[in-house]
Amino acid sequence: MPATQSTLLTITIGLSLLALAFAVWLSRWVLARARGKPEMQRISDAIHQGAKAFLARQYRTITLLAILVAVVLYVGYGVFRTPNPSDPVSNPRTLALYVTVSFLLGAISSGIAGYVGMWVSIRANIRVAAAALESLNDALRLALRGGAVAGLFVVAMSLLGVGGLFAALSALVPVGSTAEQWVPKIPFLIVGYGFGASFVALFAQLGGGIYTKAADVGADLVGKFEAGIPEDDPRNPAVIADLVGDNVGDCAGRGADLFESTAAETIGAMILGVFLFRYFGVGGILFPLVVGSFGLIASIIGVMTVSTREDGDPMQALNRGFYTTAVLAVCGFALAAKWLLGAPEHAAPDAWWHFFLCGIVGVLTSIAFLLITQYYTEYAYRPVRGIAEASQTGPATNIIQGIAVGMEATVLPVFTIAIAIVASFYLGRASGLTGEHGELIGGLFGTATATMGMLGTAAYVLAMDTFGPITDNAGGIIEMSRQPESVRVITDRLDAVGNTTKALTKGYAIGSASLAAFLLFSAYLDEVFNYTGRRISVNIARPELFVAGLMGAMLVFWFSSLAIRAVGRAAYSVITEVRRQFAAKPGIMQGTESPDYGAAVDIVTKAALKEMVAPGVLVVAFPIAVGLLFRIVGLGAEAVAAFLMVATIAGIIMAIFLNTGGGAWDNAKKYIETGVYGGKRSDAHKASIVGDTVGDPFKDTAGPSLHVLIKLLSTITLVLAPLFI
């Protein structure tokens, strides 16, 4: 089949639509299931309302911020900036319009992706709880398929958005230009889409992350410690807010995160494909979209094969599904590589299998990240057990040990990333592609194809991730409605698996962000090259660039500080509210009065939204300030690049530290709860609860927000590059 533009766009858009249709079918399948007992429904409805209310208000805030940025973008591009002969379109107003509209489309799509993730999860939770009354396998499949609705929707929307924009723009060939000249310019016009997506993702992840942990920490501190009631006890006024948090933090936040990953990295890879135009034509540009749409099909098949025996290990079932997806994605990748990068007229007959091997590198990287994350966060292994052991001498040693484990956990992932980047770069360079002066140019595209390989399983991984909050909620509903012990055993098992899959997804997300980082830098440098005609060198031995890099690393610490502190402050408002309710209604503790769940939900909603603004604005404003400041000495583009790259390095490592440390503390507590070192209510257990609480904002607020931060920095610099030159 000839790889014409329309064929490739048809495949991408067609497969994406197919995946969307399948997601709709799956969601109907999930919604058709029983909703269980009335007392369970009451709880589910309360979660439902709280989540919807939060998202509505959060989106209002984000919309305001996004409109502000859109105006700045339009005015900056259309009015203040001097047009450049290398602009993809010559009229500055038209250029400004393209960039701004792409930004808004990206922002809206990212918002929808987050909303859908949450929409399905707050409906699936009660049905999984009901299914757990009967069968483990039923509950498992229901939870995963509920998650898959989110996963498929997010990835398909992302491909559809990028593919659709590309198709729309390719119909708008400007007067005086041929399609041949126009098409390679399109990726530069849609970079705004990635920026819009990551802009919304940052606030979604931050706001959701602050909400979920403020509610969790607040409910725990006031419930377990002050009132002495267990977790998920219905007498705790903050308990519904806690369950809402799982949805808005994990589903909506991670949904937006992976949406923008797919969008930004696809666009970045397309930009690199532009520079291989003379080899692969439009096939090289659209390769990332085609591979992505094949990955959707692989994920659908992977999800549908998952089932377990009633006495089986649900985690193994999910793992089998993952490996099925990975193998199928690799097959699709090979097909696409041979077809689009392997035609003999390309004069580089060996290129396709080199890039295919790069894809394999990407898949292996994702598997390595999953295994390393497992080693550091599951209590079968040394690190978590060490933390549990240290809990015997109190909370201080528990914290010291946890921090040491988190820091150590950065070592293997960094080696993995290092090997993956260098291997895919050298493989790509060995592909035989040469530039105008005979220099080898395939290296960067090699790292891009490795990223595409890693993203091939994105939809499945996101399904596993959303599995987490669904089963967590199901467990909460079972607990709060006081169902029999036998049911709790099932939901507890699923909940434990959900905790693991959440940790794994974070490993996957940071792994793909790291691998993609290089691709996004290269896109930035290409953008600068496109404008200035010179390849800038990011030489951090120059004092200005060293200083910019230093500030980039500092941004990561500053941002983490703000995010962690935000949780503390928002949690404090929860504690105050719960104390107020306990004092005002003494009957709550006797079970004669029911607490006002809505008030607690309302308080934490307001607090989280207020707290998300400062760190979010910091991330957007800082790189712009650096770029404009160093532009004065003629080093704007270089300084921003150094800022971006060192911030990415620091962000990757800090995110791994925070995610892994938090996950390890969590499971050290769970390990002690299995009965070791005195089990529940022992001093070691109390110490481990301190570590778990400290880890909460690490792993669910600051860490995941850093994934988005890394990519937002890349997309913001990509979009604003013309302003720094």
- Of 17, 20, 108, 550, the one binding a copy of itself (CB under 8 A) is 550
CB of 406 to a copy of itself, least distance (A): 8
CB of 442 to a copy of itself, least distance (A): 12
Spatial separation of the C-alpha atoms in residues 604 and 581, rounded to whole Å: 15
Q: Which of positions 484-523 make contact with a copy of itself (CB under 8 A)?
A: 518, 521-522
Q: Which of positions 8-27 make contact with a copy of itself (CB under 8 A)?
A: none
CB of 350 to a copy of itself, least distance (A): 21
Q: Which of positions 516-545 make contact with a copy of itself (CB under 8 A)?
A: 518, 521-522, 525, 536-541, 543-544
Query: Of 300-308, 557-565, 582-590, 673-681, which segment contacts a copy of itself by CB under 8 A?
Result: 557-565
Q: Pattern 375-404, binding to a copy of itself, x per CB under 8 A?
A: ---------------x--xxxxx-xxx-xx
Q: Which is nearer to a copy of itself, 307 or 393 (CB)?
A: 393
Burial class (CB in 10 A: 0-12, 13-18, 19+), 54: buried
Cβ-based neighbour number of residue 78 at 10 Å: 18
- Of 227, 229, 414, 624, the one binding a copy of itself (CB under 8 A) is 414
Distances (CA, A) of 161 to 3, 155, 190, 282: 21, 10, 10, 18
Q: Which is nearer to a copy of itself, 13 or 709 (CB)?
A: 709
Q: Which is nearer to a copy of itself, 6 or 576 (CB)?
A: 576
Q: How many residues bind a copy of itself (CB under 8 A)?
A: 74
Q: Which is nearer to a copy of itself, 200 or 645 (CB)?
A: 645
Rg, C-alpha atoms of the chain: 25
CB of 558 to a copy of itself, least distance (A): 5
Q: How many residues does the chain have?
A: 725
Q: Pattern 429-448, binding to a copy of itself, x per CB under 8 A?
A: --------------x---x-
Spatial separation of the C-alpha atoms in residues 508 and 41, rounded to whole Å: 34
Spatial separation of the C-alpha atoms in residues 519 and 265, rounded to whole Å: 7
| Chain-centre distance for alpha carbon 694 | 22
Spatial separation of the C-alpha atoms in residues 648 and 655, rounded to whole Å: 10
Instruction: Give the three-class secondary structure for 224.
Output: helix
Angle ∠(240,241,247) on CA atoms, nearest 5: 95
CB of 695 to a copy of itself, least distance (A): 9
Q: Which is nearer to a copy of itself, 540 or 713 (CB)?
A: 540
Query: Which pair of tokens denotes residue 200?
Result: 């919304």
Q: Which is nearer to a copy of itself, 314 or 615 (CB)?
A: 615
- Of 59, 657, 671, 677, the one binding a copy of itself (CB under 8 A) is 657
- Of 105, 128, 417, 480, the one binding a copy of itself (CB under 8 A) is 417
410: contact with a copy of itself by CB under 8 A: yes
546: contact with a copy of itself by CB under 8 A: yes
Burial letters 446-460, b for 16+ CB under 10 A, else e: bbbbbbbbbbbbbbb
Query: Which pair of tokens denotes residue 423?
Result: 């291997």
CB of 635 to a copy of itself, least distance (A): 11
Angle ∠(319,325,331) on CA atoms, nearest 5: 140
Q: Which of positions 350-379 make contact with a copy of itself (CB under 8 A)?
A: none
Reference 262, options 419, 14, 461; nearest CA is 461
Spatial separation of the C-alpha atoms in residues 321 and 323, rounded to whole Å: 6
CB of 581 to a copy of itself, least distance (A): 17
CB of 435 to a copy of itself, least distance (A): 16
- Of 421, 497, 515, 720, the one binding a copy of itself (CB under 8 A) is 421
Q: In sequence order, which residues have a C-beta less than 8 Å from that of residue 712 and are 6 or more positions away?
A: 195, 198, 199, 201, 202, 260, 619, 620
Tell me which residue has tokens 């395939």.
442
Query: Of 146-154, 177-185, 415-423, 485-493, which segment contacts a copy of itself by CB under 8 A?
Result: 415-423
Q: Which is nearer to a copy of itself, 359 or 552 (CB)?
A: 552
Q: Which is nearer to a copy of itself, 72 or 624 (CB)?
A: 624
Q: Which of positions 175-234 make contact with a copy of itself (CB under 8 A)?
A: 217, 221, 225
Q: Which is nearer to a copy of itself, 23 or 221 (CB)?
A: 221
684: contact with a copy of itself by CB under 8 A: no
Tell me which residue has tokens 């999910």.
318
Reference 568, options 213, 58, 225; nearest CA is 213
- Of 106, 273, 549, 662, the one binding a copy of itself (CB under 8 A) is 549
Query: Which pair of tokens denotes residue 622?
Result: 């800082």
Query: Of 29-37, 254-262, 312-320, 686-694, which segment contacts a copy of itself by CB under 8 A?
Result: 686-694
- Of 72, 547, 628, 676, the one binding a copy of itself (CB under 8 A) is 547
Cβ-based neighbour number of residue 97 at 10 Å: 15
Spatial separation of the C-alpha atoms in residues 570 and 215, rounded to whole Å: 8
Q: Which is nearer to a copy of itself, 393 or 682 (CB)?
A: 393
Query: Of 36-44, 186-194, 478-486, 691-699, which segment contacts a copy of itself by CB under 8 A?
Result: 691-699
Q: Which is nearer to a copy of itself, 99 or 694 (CB)?
A: 694
Reference 254, options 480, 468, 14, 60; nearest CA is 468
Query: Which pair of tokens denotes residue 85?
Result: 């002969």
Q: Quick one: DSSP state of residue 434?
A: B
Reference 143, options 128, 123, 158; nearest CA is 128
State which amino acid sits at residue 114.
G
* Contact call for residues 256 and 114 (beta carbons, < 8 A): yes
CB of 372 to a copy of itself, least distance (A): 13
CB of 560 to a copy of itself, least distance (A): 5
Q: In sequence order, which residues have a C-beta less than 8 Å from that of residue 382 and are 6 or more positions away?
A: none
In degrees and rounded to multiples of 5, residue 202 shows phi and psi of: -60, -50
| Chain-centre distance for alpha carbon 572 | 27
718: contact with a copy of itself by CB under 8 A: no
Q: Which of positions 592-651 make contact with a copy of itself (CB under 8 A)?
A: 641-642, 645-646, 649-650
Query: Which pair of tokens denotes residue 614?
Result: 């400062």
- Of 697, 703, 704, 722, the one binding a copy of itself (CB under 8 A) is 697
Q: Which of positions 98-117 make contact with a copy of itself (CB under 8 A)?
A: none
664: contact with a copy of itself by CB under 8 A: no
CB of 393 to a copy of itself, least distance (A): 6
